[in-house]
Amino acid sequence: MLPLVVLIVDAPAVNAIDMPNERIVCFPTSAHQAADGHWIVPIHGIVSKQKAPLFRRFVVQTFLEKTLQFGKNSIEQTIFNRRVSPFLLDGRSDRQIDVQLGSQTYAAGVSEENGHFRANLRLTAKDVSNLLKDASPSKWVSYKVVSSASNSEQTVGGIQFVEQHGISIISDIDDTIKDTNAVDRKEMLANTFTREFRAVRGMPTTLRRCADYSVAFHYVSGSPWQLFEPLSNFLDDQRIPQGSFHLRKFKLSKAAADDLLASQIELKMKMIVPILTAYPRRRFVLVGDSGQQDPEIYGQIARSHADQVAAIYIRNLENDKEQGDRWNAAFSDVPKARWRVFENLGDMQDNLVTLMARMSKVTEN
């Protein structure tokens, strides 16, 4: 069982509460202002039962243990037990969700069959102004959620109120911020389930330096929502700026394990386009890697949202030394000055931070 951890600095690192029969986790989101002046405030989380059916737990756990081949009573076993636990929970449907934001309580709908609940609250500009009086400079606000079965117990979530003008970074996680080796099935599973997460050298410092320019962050990944808590803890441990999370829905089974390596183009497009649509006047920098399909995804986004995408940064992995044809195809019709492929993260850091400083001056004026 994962412990309750509620940590609010700029944003909650992990927001969960354990209950005898159910568990609620809230995911960080970003609010935006609509054309009529109201704020659209997304609420997203999941309600889960503590245990899935015994047979499914046995089949899935046995399959992963055989695939990963780690020793019993090892550090890998301890990490595995912790990481796989959220995958073995069943979503709880038909739970009425109420949200306490500031002094107001809002009905936020009913949890779906998979346990996820989503709502878009509409708040007036005055309501939001009152909420932000006590918020941190980065404009994160916490809220409380209660389900119809949780009695008086509550769980905490976080929302960042992002202005229409400014700079945002949309970043991939696996092999961009965290070493995953997603192109190698066995290594990807081992790095996901049996090893402590490791940061890509230089990336935490790079993102922290970017945060100095009042940048909003959005983390978009093909990783499943079940990994939110270890990913959020990893970002917090590395002092990486908090941001909204955009992960994939996934139900683990033997047949579905390979789905973690499936094409991400359609998946990530569905995550990224709504972010750009919510903030039509913001300028975006897209950060990813060459291991899967980030160049193709970002190139497509840059062509369809040319006025919003200021730059693209791709980390070139060691096994991708010569891919000139790939870059030219992925970024066709995207001005060469707007995309960069880096093998040296030191060069990337200096270039990206310099861009943030220059863009920040423009947005201030």
What distance in Å separates the CA atoms of residue 276 and residue 170, rounded to the nearest whole number? 10
User: DSSP states of 135-170 as a string?
Assistant: S-TT-EEEEEEEETTSTT--EEEEEEE--SSSEEEE
Q: Is residue 298 predicted with pLDDT exceeding 70?
A: yes
Does residue 197 carry a pLDDT above 90?
yes
The answer to whether residue 364 scores a pLDDT higher than 70 is: no
Decide if pLDDT at 115 tops 60. Answer: yes
pLDDT at position 349 over 90: no
pLDDT tens digits for 21-52? 678 999 999 999 999 999 999 999 999 876 66
Q: Which helix (H) or strand (E) holds 79?
A: helix 75-84
pLDDT score, position 252: 59
- Can you give the pLDDT at residue 261? 47
Cα torsion through 80, 256, 28, 266, rounded to 10: 140
Residue 72: the pLDDT is: 64
pLDDT at 17 over 50: no
Q: Which two tokens stand for residue 116?
A: 């996820």
What average pLDDT does the segment 115-130 reach? 95
Residue 135 has pLDDT above 50, yes or no: yes
Q: Which residues pair with 221 in a beta bridge?
A: none
Distance CA 263, CA 259 (A): 8
pLDDT computed for residue 255 by the predictor: 46
User: How confident is the model over 139-196, as pLDDT tens digits?
Assistant: 999 999 988 765 435 688 999 999 999 999 999 999 999 999 988 888 888 899 889 9
Only one residue has tokens 């369809």, namely 304
pLDDT for the residue numbered 15: 52
CA 118 to chain centre: 16
Position 1 scores a pLDDT of 27
Rounded to whole angstroms, how far apart are CA atoms 118 and 250?
A: 16
Query: 86 exposed, middle or buried (CB, 10 Å; 0-12, 13-18, 19+)?
Result: buried
Does the predicted model carry a pTM greater than 0.75? Answer: yes
Cβ neighbours around 18 below 10 Å, total:
14
Given this model, what pLDDT does residue 284 score? Answer: 98
Going by C-alpha positions, the residue among 42, 30, 158 that lies closest to residue 109 is 42
Per-residue pLDDT, 4: 26
Is 94 strand, coil or helix? coil
Q: Looking at the predicted structure, is the pLDDT value of residue 361 above 70?
A: yes
CA trace torsion 61, 66, 69, 71 (10° rounding): 60
Backbone dihedral region for residue 49 (phi beyond 0: left; psi -120 to 50: alpha; all else: beta): beta
In 10 A of CB 64, how many CB atoms?
21
In CATH terms, the superfamily for domain 167-364 is HAD superfamily/HAD-like (3.40.50.1000)
Whether 9 shows a pLDDT value over 70: the answer reads no
Q: DSSP 3-state assignment of 284?
A: strand
For residues 15 and 273, the model is more confident at: 273
Q: Once rounded to an integer, what is the mean pLDDT over residues 276-284?
A: 97
Dihedral over Cα of 362, 216, 334, 326: its sign: positive
Burial class (CB in 10 A: 0-12, 13-18, 19+), 67: middle
Pick among 1.10.8, 1.10.3470, 2.60.40, 1.20.120: CATH of 6-50+90-161: 2.60.40
pLDDT higher than threshold 50 for residue 266: yes
Task: Enumerate the domain spans of the chain.
Answer: 6-50+90-161, 167-364
Bridge-based pairing state of the strands 96-101 and 116-123: unpaired
- Please tell me the chain's helix, strand, coil percentages from 3-state DSSP, rounded to the nearest 5: 35, 30, 35
Query: In this predicted structure, what is the pLDDT of residue 297?
Result: 96
Helix (H, G, I), strand (E, B) or coil at 294: helix
CB atoms within 10 A of CB 143: 25
State the average pLDDT for the chain: 85
Residue positions counted in the chain: 365
Amino acid identity of residue 208, one-letter, is R
